[in-house]
Structure 1
Amino acid sequence: MHNPTPTMTRYERIMLNHSGRSDDAAAQFCDASRAARTKVVAESDADAVIRDVAAGVAAPALTGCAIWMLFEARRRGLARLRFLSRDGQVLYELARRLAPILGIELDLQYVYSSRLTWSLAATEPSNLDNAAWLFNSFMKSNATDLCSRLGLSIDEYESLLAASGVSLDPETRADQIHQAAAMRRFLRTRKVTEAMASRISHTRQLLVDYAEQHALTDPATGLVDAGWTGRMIGSLIQVCRSTGSSSRPHVLLWGHEPRPSGWTDPAKVVAYVYNTATGQGLDWRVPDAPFLVESFCMGDHGIVSGYERERSGAKVLPILQSSTNVAAEAWGLRAYRSTLYAFVEALNGAQTDDLRPMIHGVMDAFWCHPTFDEATVWGAYPYDSDPAGTAIRPLARAIAEPRIARGDRAWLAGSLQLSTAAARHAYLATDPNSDLSGAPATD
């Protein structure tokens, strides 16, 4: 076992630099970080790195957000918060621990959602070829991804894919113009549209009933998620609107990056750190913030692949791809979550100071300037941006020579830290500034 040391970390020094007095929120967060590191005993060197980043970066970032969400819900007069899986799970766990400390009474509930299910429910079978969610993500879809998102067996549709000109090569993706055109031909075929019409209709009705069951679109409800474009929540509202419902919930996010083709609602959608639609908090946005925050919000179960009715028909229940998140557990999820909870347990009283400048400071230090050990351990985190869970990759990997490209590395600074000096310099000399600034990806 690796016993924690009380020595102040670089993140705790940053917290103290943002403190103006010994009892303010920044000072209390610094104390909570040290207390969490003391309480959680690491079983390995890797667990020690996970724990220290959890205490110094993730816990302040997520706890600050959860505190803000609870106060914001009260300010808006909400009766309940619904935390959307899977990114909302850790925020739910923190919020339910924090609410008694803050003296806030709300109906808090963790509910099951996914881009895969909600986007499918909102898609018209006759318009599959224009459904951006089928093609887009950090990694664009290949043939296998496309079938997975539709819930179709690639073996059953292999001949139709080939006849449509879709390559089965996993490296041939929708960002290649000929592959994208072929995928759209495939989606317009009668066999696909007929198969999807039944699946979409079934999914849509189950989602409507699940939303009613948990009051997801009630005006006194706040939906909680990490972010980003708002499309998934927009899909829910679109589906429920098709039943004649005009009510809309409030939406509380970490960050909001709506696209021209996406969804937002200035009266209902609010973000903690930044909102590109309003220009709020952009100076506090670290590069590629979604990749970092989604990694901090790792869930302990698999993706929601659909819904089903229980035998009595009284309730709609989620269908999970897996009951556990095996890859995250193998990486160190237990040590990570234990540290977050120990951090919250060490807090005393309400925290009303604006913590966002401090949170940006610790996040920037970790995400943009990682140590080699941090890049090694956190870079091994199994990050997956695909709606169907088909694209798990390490968060960071060394950039290989002579092919100097970012590729599918979500954590650029971590990847550069793991790379040779020659590869690092070559990348920085040739790649676009947008990669370094972390500008929001476009459609």
Structure 2
Amino acid sequence: MDKNVSKKIKYYGKILKRYQNVVDFYTSSQKLLKNMPKNLSYEDSVIYETSVLVTAPVLVSYVIYILKDAQRRGMQRLYFLSRDGYIMYKIAKVICNKYKINIDCRYLYVSRLVLREPIYFIDKNEAMKYFCEYGVKVSPKIVLKRAGISCEMQGKILNEIDVKFKEKLLTKDELIILREKLKNNECFIKEALEHSKSKYKIIYEYFVQEGLTENRDYAIVDVGWLGSMQRNIRQILSYAGDNRTLCGYYFGMFENGKVEDGDYNCFYFSKEFNSSRRVFFNNNLFECMCSANHGMTVGYKRNNNNSINAVFSDQELKWNVNLQLNTVEKFTKLFVSENEWNNIFIDKLSNLTQKLLKSFMMFPSINEATVYGSIPFADDPSESYMLNLAEKLTNEELWQYNIFYKIYRNIFLNNKQIKYNESFWINGTIKLSNISCKKLFNLSCLICEYLHYLKLNKVN
């Protein structure tokens, strides 16, 4: 075994052993490492070890927090939102079955795409912000695709508002200009409204079918970040006259949810609770740790028996998602056989999680950066493009993350927006790059993130 790989595995093991008196993840992890399947490929061995030592302990900790708190509140049902909620749903089912927890765990097929499509019908201004949301490779064509505009009509609309390049990648400022042009285009308004109205009708009927309008206490479960999915669910229900107060569980939140959208309960960090943890956290990598083995929900269809089923995008699995899912589920089954429910206390679980995630996310080994960095990832709700999580960047592109370059740009370039290629996991990209002084460069990126965090807290 490679010395650096062995060192990282031992480090994770020491963390789990140190917290053994709080919750015993150590015994389950060691059993699975000892019985690691033979003849795994290089990539699969990294996924297996990371799943056993990081992914499973972190996600099981989060689900324990959810179930303990839901029990305390008397929740009758939990809706785990696809796709990030899939593995958490599987974990919750194992835990509830073993410990006889009387909470109905369900899996709700949604996505940012299908939840945002009806919003133009409800609130045009808010929907326009979603359509023109920034991403690393957002073009005018992608903006119109988010709004449900057909390929045939895209050219007509862009010609009318004098946009010549459908595939041009847009900066944040250019997206604002495009948004203002589209807001006043009659053809866009007509097409977007018709599309949104039809999408509202069927998603609301799906919500009714799945019990979201029933008179019972329930909460939704997701990874978090901005709270838009809970907001959109609330808007869809509220438009039909269902003004219940929603409750949501989230791993972390970068922003506070709006009061009208209900309660947001965070396990790892929020604006008010352990907010500095976001500096050492990468939400894109975390979403890969929560990957499902089915495509994104892109719509719904009514079957012959009048039930409504989700429609998925085609998904070509380019990494062994099933190995991660199966390993985490095996870990959970071992874990519940080693631990008594009443002896698990949630107050230290987030501290354990922090130690594991900080090492994995901010200071990855070359193996972790290579394997997890090659996972296809999209920041676009329509998944119109996919890039490697740790995209390889040129030295010039890497320098945009350096604190000294940012100071220079702010002083001499008036912070002018320049469209560079970006990385969804910059710490992984640095590890894979040929740049010198990687540790110093990594530290510089962390300082930038910390200064950004301080700026946000000062503003808010």
Instruction: Please give the range of the TM-score, normalised by the shorter of the 2 chains.
Output: 0.7 to 0.9
1:359 pairs with 2:356: no
Using the alignment, how far apart are the partners of 1:167 and 1:263 within structure 2? 38
Using the alignment, how far apart are the partners of 1:299 and 1:429 within structure 2? 32
How far 1:77 moved relative to its partner?
Answer: 0.6
1:269 pairs with 2:248: no
Cα 1:194–1:113 shift into 2, 3 Å: same
Cα 1:158–1:433 shift into 2, 3 Å: farther
Q: Which segment is superposed worse, 125-134 or 249-258?
A: 125-134
Query: Could you say which residue in structure 2 is the equivalent of 1:135?
Result: 132
Cα 1:101–1:123 shift into 2, 3 Å: same
State which of 411, 414, 418 in structure 1 corresponds to 2:425.
411
Query: Could you say which residue in structure 1 is the equivalent of 2:52?
Result: 55
Pairs within 5 Å for 1:196-235: 196-216=192-212, 220-235=217-232
How far 1:401 moved relative to its partner?
Answer: 2.2
Query: Could you say which residue in structure 2 is the equivalent of 1:12?
Result: 13
Using the alignment, how far apart are the partners of 1:136 and 1:71 within structure 2? 36
Structure 1: gaps of 5 or more residues = none
Does the 8 Å contact 1:287/1:439 carry over to 2? Answer: no
1:369 pairs with 2:383: no
- Local SS of the residue matching 1:346: helix
Using the alignment, how far apart are the partners of 1:112 and 1:138 within structure 2? 24
Query: Could you say which residue in structure 2 is the equivalent of 1:343?
Result: 331
Q: Which segment is superposed worse, 127-136 or 342-351?
A: 127-136
How far 1:398 moved relative to its partner?
Answer: 3.3
Query: Could you say which residue in structure 2 is the equivalent of 1:180?
Result: 176
Does the 8 Å contact 1:165/1:182 carry over to 2? Answer: no
- Local SS of the residue matching 1:385: coil
Deviations 1:109-159 (A, max 9, x none): 111111111112122488358622112255363123212212223343214
Cα 1:211–1:232 shift into 2, 3 Å: same
Does the 8 Å contact 1:379/1:394 carry over to 2? Answer: yes
- Local SS of the residue matching 1:96: helix
Query: Could you say which residue in structure 1 is the equivalent of 2:290?
Result: 297
Does the 8 Å contact 2:390/2:429 carry over to 1? Answer: yes
Query: Could you say which residue in structure 1 is the equivalent of 2:149?
Result: 152
Cα 1:33–1:285 shift into 2, 3 Å: farther
Cα 1:38–1:144 shift into 2, 3 Å: farther
Q: Give the aligned residue type for 2:82.
A: S
Deviations 1:413-439 (A, max 9, x none): 111111123384895698684446774
Q: Give the aligned residue type for 1:272.
A: F
Q: Which segment is superposed worse, 220-229 or 33-42?
A: 33-42
Does the 8 Å contact 2:91/2:329 carry over to 1? Answer: yes
Percent identity between matched residues is 20
Cα 1:67–1:430 shift into 2, 3 Å: closer
Does the 8 Å contact 1:226/1:255 carry over to 2? Answer: yes
Cα 1:154–1:184 shift into 2, 3 Å: farther
Deviations 1:31-60 (A, max 9, x none): 212222334416201111111111111111
How far 1:283 moved relative to its partner?
Answer: 4.5
Does the 8 Å contact 1:254/1:274 carry over to 2? Answer: yes
- Local SS of the residue matching 2:117: helix
Deviations 1:74-128 (A, max 9, x none): 1111111111111111110111011123331211111111111111212248835
Query: Could you say which residue in structure 2 is the equivalent of 1:399?
Result: 393
Query: Could you say which residue in structure 2 is the equivalent of 1:64?
Result: 61
How far 1:30 moved relative to its partner?
Answer: 1.4
Structure 2: gaps of 5 or more residues = 402-420
Cα 1:11–1:129 shift into 2, 3 Å: closer
Deviations 1:153-174 (A, max 9, x none): 3343214213313353645215
Q: Give the aligned residue type for 1:295.
A: C
Q: Which segment is superposed worse, 44-53 or 287-296?
A: 287-296
Q: Give the aligned residue type for 2:258.
A: W
Cα 1:99–1:129 shift into 2, 3 Å: closer
Does the 8 Å contact 2:120/2:127 carry over to 1? Answer: no
Does the 8 Å contact 1:62/1:91 carry over to 2? Answer: yes
Does the 8 Å contact 1:66/1:95 carry over to 2? Answer: yes
State which of 243, 246, 250 in structure 2 corresponds to 1:246.
243
- Local SS of the residue matching 2:299: strand
Q: Which segment is superposed worse, 289-298 or 428-437?
A: 428-437
Query: Could you say which residue in structure 2 is the equivalent of 1:112?
Result: 109
Q: Give the aligned residue type for 1:394.
A: N
Query: Could you say which residue in structure 1 is the equivalent of 2:280?
Result: 287
State which of 276, 287, 309 in structure 2 corresponds to 1:317.
309
Using the alignment, how far apart are the partners of 2:111 and 2:232 within structure 1? 11
Deviations 1:252-295 (A, max 9, x none): 11112236xx635696221111121xx11324445343212211
Using the alignment, how far apart are the partners of 2:382 and 2:158 within structure 1? 19
Counting helix residues as a fraction of each chain, which structure ranks higher? 2
Query: Could you say which residue in structure 2 is the equivalent of 1:168?
Result: 165
Using the alignment, how far apart are the partners of 1:431 and 1:113 within structure 2? 34
Q: Which segment is superposed worse, 201-210 or 109-118?
A: 201-210
Does the 8 Å contact 1:253/1:270 carry over to 2? Answer: yes
Does the 8 Å contact 2:122/2:239 carry over to 1? Answer: no
Using the alignment, how far apart are the partners of 2:56 and 2:452 within structure 1? 23
Paired residue total: 424
- Local SS of the residue matching 1:388: coil
Does the 8 Å contact 2:245/2:262 carry over to 1? Answer: no
- Local SS of the residue matching 2:383: coil
Q: Which segment is superposed worse, 413-422 or 137-146?
A: 137-146
Does the 8 Å contact 1:384/1:392 carry over to 2? Answer: yes
Query: Could you say which residue in structure 1 is the equivalent of 2:32?
Result: 36
Cα 1:101–1:440 shift into 2, 3 Å: farther
Does the 8 Å contact 2:234/2:261 carry over to 1? Answer: no
- Local SS of the residue matching 1:131: helix
Query: Could you say which residue in structure 1 is the equivalent of 2:416?
Result: none
- Local SS of the residue matching 2:224: coil
* RMSD between superposed Cα atoms in Å: 3.0
- Local SS of the residue matching 2:78: strand
Using the alignment, how far apart are the partners of 2:207 and 2:289 within structure 1? 27
Query: Could you say which residue in structure 2 is the equivalent of 1:386?
Result: 380
Using the alignment, how far apart are the partners of 2:431 and 2:168 within structure 1? 26
